[in-house]
Structure 1
Amino acid sequence: MRAMQYERFGGPEVLAPAEVPDPVAGRGETVVEVAAAGVNFGDIKQIAGEHTAGPYAPKGPLPLVPGLEVVGRTADGRRVLGYVRQGGYAEKAVVADRDLVTVPEGVSAGEALALLIQGLTAWHLLRSAARIRPGESVVVHAAAGGTGSLAVQLAREFGAGRVIAMASSEEKRAFALELGADVAIDGDAEGYQERILYANHGQPVDIVLDAIGGPVLDSALDTLGYLGRLVTYGASSRQAASAVAPGRLAMESRTVAGFWIIPLIARDGAGGTALEELLRLTARRRLRPLVGAEYDLMRARDAHEDLLARRTKGKLVLRP
C-alpha cells in the first residue's frame, strides 16, 4: 500500500512516499481502510525526534509511518474514527478496538478528525479538569483555534452563564462570536485583567482555559473569583509563567490544573461516551468543528510546512 514515511528524524523534508506492507490486525484490533488522516503538531514533533519517551514515542525502529488519527471503513462496512498513535499516513491502518468509534451520517471526515484530539481536549478541559457547573463564567484563550473554538461552543452547550473569548485579531474575535461567545476581546497580556473584568460586568470569573502561558497565565490567575479554576493545556507564548505562590491560591480558594489529552487516551482509550457525545452534537449541528485545507496524502510534507508557518486555519486533512 501507499504511505508517507520517514527514515530519519528532521523537518517536513524527511517525509517521503513509500510502498509498505498492508498492516495486519492483532487481537483486539481492526484494520481500517483510510479515507482521511488528520495532521497534528504531534506528528511534526514525532518526526523531529522530539518524543523519545511517553505516549508520542515512536513504536519500533525507523523507517516509520506517522499519523495519529484516521477516518475510514472497516471490512464489515462501518464508517469509523480511530486513534492510531502511529501509522495514519497510509491507505490502511490498524486501530485498537478501544480507540474506535462509529461516525454518524452527516459528519464529514474533517469534522470527525477535528473531534478526536482537539474535541476530546475541549470536552475534558471543561468536564474533567474545570468541572464546569451551569451558570459559571468561562474564559477561553485562543478561541479561534482548533481546541479553543470547540471549547467556546461546548461551554455554551454545558450551560455556561457567560463565555468570554480571547483572540489576537478582529477576524478571529468575530469568528468566536459567531460560535456563541458572549463577548470577544484581545488576548494580549497588557491590560488583560482590566479587559476580563470589564467583559464580565466587573465580576471575577469562574473558569479560565489557558493555552498561552507566560504573562497571560499570570494575569489570568488574578481574574479568578472564589473557588475559580484555571486549566493550562499549552504554552504558545513560549514564555515561562511565574511560580504560583500557595498564598495566592489559598486566599480565594483558587485551583490551577494542567491537562494533556494523550496520556488520558493512552490510559482509557479514545472511544467512549465523550467522543460519542461530540459526534452526536456535530451530527445535530449543535457543534461546528473547524475544518481547514485538504491535501493529497503524497503532499503531507506541504501540510506540515503550512502548519509550521501558521498559514492554516482549522483541521488539516490528508486524503490517500
Structure 2
Amino acid sequence: MENEGLVEVVLPGIVAPEGLRLRRGAVPAAGRGQVVVAMEATGVSFAEQQMRRGRYYDQPPFPFVPGYDLVGTVVTAGEGVGQGLLGQRVAALVKVGGWASHVVVDAEDVVPVPDGLTAAEAETVVVNGITAWQMLHRSARVRAGQTVLVHGASGGVGSVLAQLARAAGATVIGTASARHHKALRELGVLPVDYRAGNVAERVRELAPGGLDAVFDHLGGRSVTDSWKLLARGGALVAYGSASTRDDNGSKQLPVLKILARTLLWNALPNGRRASFYNIWAGRALDRTAFRARLRADLTEVFAAVGRGEVVARIAARIPLARAAEALRLAESGTVAGKIVLTP
C-alpha cells in the first residue's frame, strides 16, 4: 500500500455529499516524533455530517480532508520514534485527515490495537468508544444499580454507551426509532420510540423516581427536557446539538446555549449537575495528561470489546473512493452502527 501513492477525500466547501473530491499524491513523510499510518479503516461520524454543512463548531477552513479517527498499520517512523512501532496496528483520534490512505500522526497519539480485533471492529469504537467511556465513567460516574437514559441508543456513540452502561450494571433506557427496538432489547436496553411523541412521559413511566444520568446529543429543547428527568444527585451530560444540524446561522451558538444552561443549572442548589462533554477538553492545557487519559480509556474500550461486553456494530463497509455514498448513507438515519471506510 505504501508504494501505491496517497489517496484522500477532500471536502471543498459546503456541498452535498456528491461534492466530495478525490485527490491523489505522494505518500507523506514522517517528521520528527511522527509516524505514517497506512489506513485500514476510518469512519463516518456525525462530525463529518456537520462539517460538510459548515456546522461543526471548530472545524478548519475549507478545503480540508475530513475523517475524525482511523485504524491502520505504522509503515514509517520518523526521527526520534522507536522502530518497535513499525508494523503495529494502531488507532488514532485526529479530528480531521482520517479519510486518506496514509495519515501522518504524532507517535505519542497512537494507541495499539490488541490482537483479535480487526481494523473495522476497532474503528467502530475509537471516537465512539472514547466518547462513551469518558461520559459514562469520567463525567457521569455511573455505578451499578443506577438508571440512565441514552438518547439515540442505536447510533454510533449511543449504542456503545448503552452497552458500556449495561456492563457497568446500570439499567438503560434508550431512545430510537421503532425499527431498532428489537436490537436494543437484545442488548438489555428498554427502548422508547422518539417518533411517537411524549418521550419524557414514557421515560417517567419506566423510571418514576427519576434518572441517575442522561446522555443527550440532541441539544436544543431536548437538553432542558433531559435535565427535568434527573433525580436528585443525577447528572446530565450533553455532547452535541444534532437537532440543529440543518439550521442556518452561527454554528457556535447552539453549543454556547447548552454551555450557558449547564452553568445556570449547576449554580442552583438542587443536587443535580450538568456538563457539556468535549473529547478534546484539556488537550491544550496538558497534552501529556490528555494523551494518557485517551490511551487508558480506549484501551479499556478495546478490552470491553474483547470480552464481548461491547459488540462492534458495523453498518457497512465502503471503499474510500465512494465516501460520498457512505456519507449519504450515514445521513439517511436508516442504519445502526458505524459506517466504515476502507482503502
Q: TM-score range by the shorter chain?
A: 0.7 to 0.9
CA–CA distance in 2 between the matches of 1:189 and 1:208? Answer: 19
- Which residue in the other structure is 2:220 paired with? 214
Compared with structure 1, are the counterparts of its residues 237 and 18 closer, same or farther at alpha carbon in structure 2 (3 Å cutoff)?
closer
CA–CA distance in 2 between the matches of 1:30 and 1:248? Answer: 43
How far apart are residue 275 of structure 1 and its match? 0.1
Identify which of 260, 268, 284 aligns with 2:278: 260
CA–CA distance in 1 between the matches of 2:301 and 2:31? Answer: 28
- Which residue in the other structure is 1:74 paired with? 74
- Which residue in the other structure is 1:24 paired with? 29
CA–CA distance in 1 between the matches of 2:335 and 2:22? Answer: 23
How far apart are residue 203 of structure 1 and its match? 1.5
Secondary structure of residue in 2 paired with 1:250: coil
Q: Deviations over 1:196-252 (max 9, x none)?
A: 22212x322211111223343333222211111111112333397898595897353
Identify which of 136, 147, 155 aligns with 2:157: 147
Q: Deviations over 1:15-52 (max 9, x none)?
A: 2222212111122211111112222232344455445x
Secondary structure of residue in 1 paired with 2:243: coil
Q: Which amino acid aligns with 1:143?
A: A
How far apart are residue 173 of structure 1 and its match? 2.0
- Which residue in the other structure is 2:250 paired with? none
- Which residue in the other structure is 1:235 paired with? 241
- Which residue in the other structure is 2:81 paired with? none
> Is the Cα contact below 8 Å between 2:11 and 2:65 reproduced in 1?
no
Compared with structure 1, are the counterparts of its residues 164 and 299 closer, same or farther at alpha carbon in structure 2 (3 Å cutoff)?
same
Q: Which amino acid aligns with 1:199?
A: L
CA–CA distance in 1 between the matches of 2:230 and 2:265? Answer: 14
- Which residue in the other structure is 1:312 paired with? 335
- Which residue in the other structure is 2:173 paired with? 164
Q: Which amino acid aligns with 1:319?
A: T
- Which residue in the other structure is 2:181 paired with? 173
- Which residue in the other structure is 1:184 paired with? 191
How far apart are residue 156 of structure 1 and its match? 1.7
User: Are 1:65 and 2:65 matched, yes or no?
Assistant: yes
CA–CA distance in 2 between the matches of 1:247 and 1:280? Answer: 36
Compared with structure 1, are the counterparts of its residues 13 and 184 closer, same or farther at alpha carbon in structure 2 (3 Å cutoff)?
closer
Q: Which amino acid aligns with 2:139?
A: A
Q: Which amino acid aligns with 2:128?
A: Q
> Is the Cα contact below 8 Å between 2:45 and 2:156 reproduced in 1?
no
> Is the Cα contact below 8 Å between 2:73 and 2:88 reproduced in 1?
yes
Kindly report the root-mean-square deviation, in angstroms, between the aligned alpha carbons of the 2 structures: 2.8
Secondary structure of residue in 2 paired with 1:257: strand
Compared with structure 1, are the counterparts of its residues 247 and 299 closer, same or farther at alpha carbon in structure 2 (3 Å cutoff)?
closer
CA–CA distance in 2 between the matches of 1:148 and 1:294? Answer: 20
**Percent identical:** 33
Compared with structure 1, are the counterparts of its residues 48 and 218 closer, same or farther at alpha carbon in structure 2 (3 Å cutoff)?
closer
CA–CA distance in 1 between the matches of 2:107 and 2:237? Answer: 30
Deviates more, 1:128-137 or 1:10-19: 10-19
> Is the Cα contact below 8 Å between 1:139 and 1:207 reproduced in 2?
yes
Secondary structure of residue in 2 paired with 1:115: coil
Q: What are the equivalent positions in structure 2 for 1:28-47 lying under 5 Å apart?
A: 28-47=33-52
Identify which of 193, 198, 206 aligns with 1:199: 206
Deviates more, 1:275-284 or 1:216-225: 216-225
How far apart are residue 193 of structure 1 and its match? 3.4
Secondary structure of residue in 1 paired with 2:215: strand
Q: Which amino acid aligns with 1:70?
A: L
Identify which of 309, 314, 320 aligns with 1:297: 320
CA–CA distance in 1 between the matches of 2:220 and 2:70? Answer: 34
- Which residue in the other structure is 2:131 paired with? 121
Secondary structure of residue in 1 paired with 2:124: helix
CA–CA distance in 2 between the matches of 1:140 and 1:207? Answer: 9
CA–CA distance in 1 between the matches of 2:139 and 2:11? Answer: 38
Which ranges in structure 2 are unaligned for 5 or more consecutive residues? 76-85, 248-253
Q: Which amino acid aligns with 1:295?
A: I
How far apart are residue 271 of structure 1 and its match? 4.3
> Is the Cα contact below 8 Å between 2:12 and 2:21 reproduced in 1?
no
Q: Deviations over 1:49-82 (max 9, x none)?
A: 445x73x325xx84x4332222111132111112
Secondary structure of residue in 2 paired with 1:237: helix
Q: Which amino acid aligns with 2:277?
A: F
CA–CA distance in 2 between the matches of 1:166 and 1:85? Answer: 27
> Is the Cα contact below 8 Å between 1:65 and 1:88 reproduced in 2?
yes
